[in-house]
A and B are shown apart, each in its own frame.
Chain A
C-alpha cells in the first residue's frame, strides 16, 4: 500500500496539470468547437501577435521577471556573504518566517500605499523636505519600466531565497570550509563568494527557477504594481479571458502557451548564464586574491536587506493604519481622525471569505501533510532515497499558473466540477504540496534512525512507530510545514479565481479585487486581515509543540 503513495501522489497531481496544458493547447491551435474552432493551424497565434501592445508586454514581462530574480538572488547571496555567522544573520532569520507567511498581494498593496507619489513616504517628508503641498506627477507605482513591480517581488522573493540558502548552508557543513578560508587570509565577502557560493548554488537552483517562473508569470502582484498599458503577459491573458465577447478566448489560450514558452526559455537562458558565469569565474576562484575585508560591501549588503525588511514592515503598518483611518489627507504624516468603523462595518462581509480561506487552507494543508508523510515514510522504510520522480512535485512551481489553469477551468466546467469545494482544494493542493514536502523532507530524513530501531526492537509495528514515536518527535517540523502550507494556500489568487468559479472568494481574491477600487480604508481592512490570518496560524503552529512539550527539554 505504502509503496503506492508516491505514485498516487504524482497521479493526483500531474495528470490534471498535463490535461490542463493540453486543454489550453487545443484552443491555441484552433480547436474549440464551442466557439466554432474546428481547424488546427497557427491562425490563432497570428491573431495573438496582432494584438496591440503584445511586443511591449512580452518585453516588460521578461525584463521585470529576470531583473526581480537576479536582484533577489544577488541580495540574498550578498547578505549571506556579509552577515553569515554574525548576530545580524540570526536576527534576519527571525524576520524570515513572518515575511514568508505574509501573502504577496497584501505586501504589494501595502508597498503601493508606501511608495505612491501620494504615499506614506511622500506624506512623511512633505511638505517640509520636498515643498510638495500636492503629490508630484511622477509614476512611482505602475511605472512604465516596472521597477515598482520588481521591488514588490523582491520583498517576498529575497526572504524566500534567504531561507533556502539557510537550509542549504545547514546541509553543506560550510562553517569549517569558511573558517579555513578565513585563516588563509581571505576576506569575509570573498571567502563566501569563492568557497560557499559554488557549493551552495546547485542546492538552491530549483528554488531559483521557481522564483524566476513566479516572477515571470504571477498575476496578483502584477495587477497591483506593474504598468497597465500594456500590462505583463499574464495580466493581459486574464484580461482577455474575461472579455464578454469571447473573441479573445482562443488567443488568450495561445498566449498561455506563449507564457509557458517564455518561462521555459528564460529558465534555459538562466542555465546558460550560470554556465557562462561559472566558466568566467574559474580563474578568479583560484587566483588567490584575498579580497580584503570589504567593509563597504558588507555594510551595503546589510543595509540593503535592512531596507527591504523595513519596507515590508512599513507596508504592513500602512495597511493597518489605513484600516483605522477616518480621513488621511496628503500631506499629513498620520490620519487626523481614527475609527474602528471600517472594521465593524466590514466584519459581516469579511466572515465569508475568511471562512473560505481558512477551510480551503486547512483542507489542502491536511491532505498535503498526509501525502508528504506517506511519501517520506515510504522512502525511509524502503531505504530508497527520494526517487527522481518526486522531483516532478515541483512542476506546479515551474509551470506558469495561467498556462494550465485556462485549460483546467474548461475541463472542470465540462466535468461539472467547477465552483465545487473539492476542485478548489485540489487546485490549492497543487501549490501547497510542494512547499509542505520541501519543509518536511529534510527534518524527516534527518531523524535519527535509531529511535525507529529501538521502538521496533521493543515490538512496535511500523505504523505504531510512526504515530507513537516519529510524529511526536517531529511535531515541530510538522507544525512548521503546516504553517507553510497554510500560508501558501491563503495567498493563492489565480487558482482560487479559476477553480472557485466565482462562487468561492478568499481574502486574497477580495483584497486584489478591492485594490482596483478606491477606498484605501476598506482595502486596508481586507489586506490586513489577509496578512494577519497566516501570521496567526504561524504563531499557533509554533505554540502547539511548545505547549504540548512544555515539560520536555529540546522538543519544543
Chain B
C-alpha cells in the first residue's frame, strides 16, 4: 500500500495545453504517491486524455512542470517516459492487427532483447500477473480483453513505476473487470503507482485510493473515493445537480412493430463477426436494449438492421408485418425505419459538409428535401434550423460544417435529424458515447418522448448503466448471437455480465449484484 509521507512519484504543476482556441488543460496540478491508485475522474472532454498523453510524452504541454521522484523532468517522448518508468495502456489500443503479440510488444519496448528471450519473458510475466498470452498469435485473432492484456504485459515488462490506464474497463465484461482489479491491486502492493482514468464511479470507489476530478480542463476537486458517495463524485464531475430523468408512462402494445427472425449474416470483413440466428421483437412504444462487449457483432447487427447491408430473405426483418430485409437503407427509411450509427463523424454525418447538407443524408425523402432528383436547399436549411432549435444544438447555423460542432452537439443534431422524422422504428447505436452529461440527458429524454409516441426503439450500447436506465427489456450480444431478452427491471448485473462473457443458461446468479451508480 502507498504511504503519504514518501516522496511523491509524480507531481504535476500548472500544466496547460491549448489546441487552437480550445484550452484542453488549464493549470492542472496534483501528485501521485508510490503504490497509490490515483483516479483521474471527469466527463468526456474534461481533458483527461490530453493530460495523460502529456505525462506519457505523446503531447507536449504549453506550460507547467512535471516532477518525477522529486526531480524536474521534461518528458519529450514516449521513449523518455518509458526510460523514467512510465507505462501506458491506451483506451484505443496502440496495437498492430497484422503483427504478432511478440512483435507488438517488442515495438513498445526500448532496448528490447532478442525475440526468443522476449517471448520467454512475456510468458513468465503474463503468468505472474494472471494475464495468459501466446506470443506467436496475431493481434486480429484476439478478443478485446486479450488485446488489453497485450498492452498491459507490454508495460509490465519494463517494470514500470507508474502505470497509466485510460478507461480500461469500457471494453471488458464485469467479470473481466474483476480480474483486472486483482492484477492492479497486486501491482499497487508491489509499489507501482497507477493513474486510473475513468468516469465510472463505482469502479473508482472500489479500486482507487485517491481521486482528482477534472471538469472543463481544470482540477475541480480532490477526494477520497472510499468516503465519497458515487452521487457526490458525479456532482463534482458534472458541476450541477443531477437531473432525474422523467420516465415515461406510456404503454407498450402487445403487437410487435419490429420483428427480427433468425438473422444470419456471414461477415466479409477479415476482422468482422458472423451474425448467427438473431431473433427479437420490439413493440410499439418499447425501448429494447442490446448490451455486449465491443466487437461482438454490434456493428454488423446495426448495419443489417439499418439496411447498410441488404439481406437475401426479405422476411428476416419485418416492420409492422411488412418484409423489409431486402431493402437498402433509403428504402427502409421510406418505410419508416430510421437509424443512428455509432460513429458520428464520417458515418452518421459528413464532416466537411454543412448541417443543411447533412440533413439530406437521411431526411431527403421523408421530409421532402429533394424533389424529382433535385435538392430543395431551402427546405433542407429550414429542417436543419428546426433540429438546431428543438434539440438546442450549439452551432452557428445550418451552414456550419458538421466538423465545427463538438461531439455532444453533433450527436444531438444527428439524433434530432432522425427523431424529427417520427420514424416507426428507430435503431440507435451508442446514443451517448463520448457525450457530456447534459447532452446525454437530452438525448435520453428525446428517446423517451419518441417511444411515448409509439415508436419501437432499439438501443445498442456498451454502457450497461445506460441500458439499465433507458430500456424496458434487453438482450446481450456475444460472438454474433443474441441472448433471450430479459426484463430490465428484473435482470441482475451478474446475470448480464455472464451473458456478456458468453455464459448462457443463466444458472447461478448468486445475488451479489453491485448496483450501478
A binds B: no
A contacts, CB < 8 Å to B? none
